Amino acid sequence: MKSREKALLVAELARSKKAQGLVILDMKKLSNITDYFIIATSASTRRSQTIAETIEEGLLKAREPVSSIEGRQDGEWILIDAYDVVTHIFKSEVRDFYNLESLWSDAPRVRICRRSQKKKIKHSKKSSKRK
The domain total for the chain is 1
**Exposed e or buried b per residue across 70-100, where buried means at least 16 C-beta atoms within 10 angstroms of its C-beta:** ebeeebbbbebbbebbbbbbbbeebbeeeee
List per-residue pLDDT tens for the chain, 131 residues long. Answer: 899 999 999 999 999 999 999 999 999 999 899 999 999 999 999 999 999 999 999 999 999 999 999 999 999 999 999 999 999 999 999 999 999 988 898 898 998 876 544 443 344 444 444 44
Query: Residue 8, Cβ neighbours under 10 Å: how many?
Result: 20
Domain assignment of residue 33, given as a range: 3-130
Q: How many residues does the chain have?
A: 131
Q: Would you state the pLDDT for residue 125?
A: 45
Which CATH number is 119's domain given?
3.30.460.10
